[in-house]
Structure 1
Amino acid sequence: MERMDRHSNFGCDRADVVALAGPAMSGVRVCEVVKTLDTGGAEVLLVERLLAARRRIVNSAVDYTVICLRASTGELIERLRAAGVTVIDLSSCPRALVYARLVATVRRMAPHVLNVHSPAPAIALRPFVRLTRRRPVLVSTVHGVRWPKTMYLDRLTRGLDDRTVAVSPTVARSRAVIGSRRVLTRVHGVDVGEQRRWAARAADVRREFDVPETAFLCVTVANFRPEKNHRMLLQAAAEVIRTRPDAVFLLAGDGPLRDETAREVKRRRLGGQVRVLGPVPGARRLVAAADLLVLSSHHEGLPVVVMEALAAGVPVVSTRVGGLPDLITSGRNGILTDPGSPGALAGAVIQAMDPRTHRELRAGAAQSDPDSLDMATTAEWFEELYEDLVRA
């Protein structure tokens, strides 16, 4: 198959350029663009949806290619490629040239549908797409409600989209979708069956991570970034441990504040009961083995880890941010607290650890509607959307 020539590489290594020319692909060609392929919520939702499409949809007429601008870990790329999804990783491109390289790659692919999952790539691609003679259908999937500087340009160009998909009702009501021509809401979900299988093996997973049988296991899966507010989480954990010495906190994830968080654990002398695990491949199994999922974020969209917890029947204690209220009802399947209050978060964890309350919350989590959490139905929904838009 033909590869792009050196003049179109914009400074990228040829090894990172996937063959795009050659025989036409059958069916609907879909290009999914995401800024990073790290283990964050938006990235995991995209990967899990494409994997579900490969597993569950028979005689699919859709061919997928994923383009990412960088990837700090190869875990998600490897999973996609193992499932037969083409991945184009532009990590080797100089930052100053990466968006030009992105536009050139999409132009050469000539997809029928372009779905962009991050504001910055969307800003670069929308004007180009509108000026293309055989332009693809343009879709943007909005994963969060934050308002970074790029959102102003995002708002100015969002009217060029054919459809905007919000991952939760809260996102659909937020200013993150202002300027959209038509907003559709789709809660993405997770692999419910897999989570339930991991829940059945909880004892094995707890032994893997050296969690005592008598411990009450609180798990946090979140990248170590300012918006996740691990500092407040440690303040709350210290207060919980003073009241309930049987509590154990495992913190999984990666990011720029990981080492700082580990130092803070050491400074507070919490090392025996609070552990910073770093990145954990397949962290969903750790979520399924927990007694409680705990999040302390300032900002969220609709966290994948919350859906993983509910699918496994694990209750959630979290700050009331983003799309959390769309999934968590305090007193039924978890407890929500005001953001920024370590005392409130600690109090909610202690309340959820009460045996009677914990039984009630676990029962509520286990009763969560599996269809609303199942990624397989979302994969089918997107395929139908893509095919309908192309036909139209």
Structure 2
Amino acid sequence: MRGLRVCEVVKTLNVGGAEVLLVERLLMARNRSANRAVDYTVICLWASTGELIERLRSAGITVIDLSGCPRPLVYARLVTTVRRIAPHVLNVHSPAPAIALRPLLRFARHRPALVSTVHSERWPKTMYLDRLTRGLDDRTVAVSPQVARSRAVIGARHVLTRMHGVDVREQWRWAAQASVVRREFDVHENTFLCACVANFRPQKNHRMLLQAAREVARTRPDTVFLLAGDGPLLDEVTREVRERRLGGHVRVLGPVPDARRLVAAADLLVLSSHYEGLPVVVMEALAAGVPVVSTRVGGVPDLIISGRNGILTEPGSPDALARAVVQAMEPQTHRELRAGALASADRVDMAGTAEWFEELYEDVVRSVKA
């Protein structure tokens, strides 16, 4: 269907899981389709960094950033902006803007097809209103089987599951340059590098990670943990590293541009989250052949099988996480887990996701017109 106008709405365009999935898919769609049969516009309400916006605009994708709009007026501006664009399809990736848009657009005379993509199984306060209005969507897409089974999609009429994936070839390229990246971050070649790429927010539970890192360092003093990300708890975690005197084994990097290269250069990806959707960083690790040690939350068990491509532990236990990291560091175990991670790369390949969404958009537009 040529000339299809699609508007993708996301609350923020910071470097986080949902945002990265959206950006990577749209870049893949643009690279795949030379004739540009689909015209994409991305609207974000806030953006604290221009990294993702610049990547989209460099690929010729229109981005409307409403960050300059006063907070009390931002949702009214969002509605008028979407109406002005008059898309054939509206795909909303965050509950709050979906709540504002669904009732006003579902009953419009020339309404768009309404799609929501659900990236997390968590249940914030906005989810109650989200649940009340979700039945107005024409399609709901869950990013993992775990999300599709969760209460985050209660009220949806048509739920589809699509594991988005990442650019596997790009991760292979970064993995081939691992020694260069490690030198950039001053990691000695004989050091065992554990990377944690996760924004500094309560659900990521960095405090537990620091407790586990202290125990790991006692057993394996050749270990270094590099923590990359942004967020409201960045300063607090940095201060705690200093107070715990972990500086020799834990380094807080803050925001790292194109942090997937750090993932590809690591020996192990470590996550300590309370909850997740389907973390992009886990897919990036598997694509590069990097094993994962993580808490058993969200969609992580859909990708990580303990003893095959990583090790899962129960959330909330720093001792269990530390034991899992030490176990994964054993030479024979690490070789087996790395081989398993490489064998899992096909499962996280984004190659078909862009095409899948464009076929979904065409199908839902036809069903609305009918």
Q: Which residue of 1 aligns with 2:271?
A: 295
Which 4+ runs in 1 deviate beyond 2 A?
57-60
Q: Which residue of 2 aligns with 1:307?
A: 283
2:276–2:297 contact (8 Å) kept in structure 1: yes
1:57–1:380 contact (8 Å) kept in structure 2: no
- Aligned: 1:154 with 2:100: no
Which of 321, 333, 340 aligns to 2:297? It is: 321
Task: Report the AA paired with residue 75 of structure 1.
Answer: E
Task: Report the AA paired with residue 43 of structure 2.
Answer: I
Unaligned runs of 5+ in 2: none
TM-score, L = length of structure 2: 0.98
Alpha-carbon shift at residue 207 of structure 1 (Å): 0.5
- Aligned: 1:365 with 2:319: no
Q: How many residues align?
A: 366
- Aligned: 1:181 with 2:157: yes
Counterpart CA distance in 1 for 2:232 and 2:106 is 37
1:258-305 per-position Cα deviation (integer Å, ceiling 9, x unaligned) = 011011111111112210000000100000000000000001000000
5 Å matches for 1:213-224?
A: 213-224=189-200
Counterpart CA distance in 2 for 1:178 and 1:71 is 29
Task: Report the AA paired with residue 86 of structure 1.
Answer: T
2:168–2:345 contact (8 Å) kept in structure 1: no
2:286–2:345 contact (8 Å) kept in structure 1: no
Identity of aligned residues (%): 82
1:97-134 per-position Cα deviation (integer Å, ceiling 9, x unaligned) = 00000001011111000000000000000001112100
Q: Which residue of 2 aligns with 1:387?
A: 362
Counterpart CA distance in 2 for 1:58 and 1:344 is 49
Alpha-carbon shift at residue 60 of structure 1 (Å): 3.8
Which of 340, 349, 356 aligns to 1:374? It is: 349
Unaligned runs of 5+ in 1: 1-25
TM-score, L = length of structure 1: 0.92
Question: Which secondary structure state, in structure 2, belongs to the residue aligned with residue 44 of structure 1?
Answer: helix
2:291–2:341 contact (8 Å) kept in structure 1: yes
Counterpart CA distance in 2 for 1:247 and 1:260 is 22
Q: Which residue of 2 aligns with 1:39?
A: 15
Question: Which secondary structure state, in structure 2, belongs to the residue aligned with residue 97 of structure 1?
Answer: helix
Q: Which residue of 1 aligns with 2:139?
A: 163
Counterpart CA distance in 1 for 2:334 and 2:345 is 19
Counterpart CA distance in 2 for 1:166 and 1:379 is 15
Task: Report the AA paired with residue 357 of structure 2.
Answer: F
Q: Which residue of 1 aligns with 2:259?
A: 283
Question: Which secondary structure state, in structure 1, belongs to the residue aligned with residue 71 of structure 2?
Answer: coil
Counterpart CA distance in 2 for 1:200 and 1:274 is 25
Q: Which residue of 2 aligns with 1:10?
A: none
Question: Which secondary structure state, in structure 2, belongs to the residue aligned with residue 114 of structure 1?
Answer: strand
- Aligned: 1:267 with 2:243: yes
1:58-92 per-position Cα deviation (integer Å, ceiling 9, x unaligned) = 43421000000000000000000000000000001
**Gap change, CA 1:298 and 1:331, over 3 Å in 2:** same
Counterpart CA distance in 1 for 2:238 and 2:253 is 9
2:208–2:317 contact (8 Å) kept in structure 1: yes
Counterpart CA distance in 2 for 1:248 and 1:139 is 43
5 Å matches for 1:239-250?
A: 239-250=215-226
- Aligned: 1:48 with 2:30: no
Aligned-residue RMSD, C-alpha:
0.8
Q: Which residue of 2 aligns with 1:339?
A: 315
Q: Which residue of 2 aligns with 1:208?
A: 184
